[in-house]
Amino acid sequence: MVERLGILGGTFDPVHAGHVAAAAEVRAVVGLDRVLLVPAGDPWQKRGTVVASAALRAEMVTRACEGVDGVECSTVEIERVGPSVTADTLEALGGTDRELFLVLGADAAANMGTWRRLEDTRPLATVVVMERAGEHADPPGPNWRWRHVAVPRLDISSSELRARIAAGRPVDGLVPPAVVRFIKDRGLYTSS
């Protein structure tokens, strides 16, 4: 039996309700067995802007996935030394017993031309582009397995959440409750 496995990577600084809702929607629409949320260990395209450590971001993702059927955290990128590169992650997670689906937002899909090892990525997975109202992305070239999935539009961004927390404003409802508690307990994203 071949497992249909979705991989949704990101910085998740912090993870929020939009990430979890999108993963659950893609899992249902595409018919995936599981979707792994994969926090970037060394997000080379965001160096200097990541606030929480990789270990803290992985813990937040683990807590966000609790109770969500078929959505889990994977620390594969955190366990690997060096920059987080999608082809490396897909190679680590692949196998003859798995069919991989790389889940991307339309913005990330449109940015694929800047990726390291882009051509190595193409044969490793079907790309599933999550599109919200008004968003669209096309493959970066020919011969990509490419699929579009409409997901609910939840206008939440991690940078806005960090700003809200720093200003002492609530993020309840925008961030899963277990993650809100973890952020408060650890004093993450506060200005002090």
Residue 191 covered by a domain: no
End-to-end CA distance of the chain: 52
Residue 105 covered by a domain: yes
Q: Establish how many alpha carbons lie within 13 A of residue 109's alpha carbon, considering only the half-sphere containing its beta carbon.
A: 25
CATH number at residue 146: 3.40.50.620
Q: How many CB atoms lie within 10 A of CB 93?
A: 17
What digits encode the pLDDT tens for the residues 30-62? Answer: 999 999 999 998 765 666 667 899 999 999 999
DSSP letter at 146? E
Residue 190 covered by a domain: no
- Stated pTM of the model: 0.92
Largest interatomic CA distance in the chain: 52
Give the residue numbers spanning the domain of 118. Answer: 3-185
Instruction: Give the C-alpha separation, 157 to 59, whole Å.
Output: 19
What digits encode the pLDDT tens for the residues 175-190? Answer: 999 999 999 999 999 9
Q: Which residue's structure tokens are 């996935």? A: 65
Q: Which residues contact 116 (CB under 8 A, 6 or more apart)?
A: 44, 83, 85, 87
Q: Calculate what percentage of the chain has a pLDDT beyond 90.
A: 75
Q: Calculate what percentage of the chain has a pLDDT beyond 70.
A: 96
Number of domains in the chain: 1
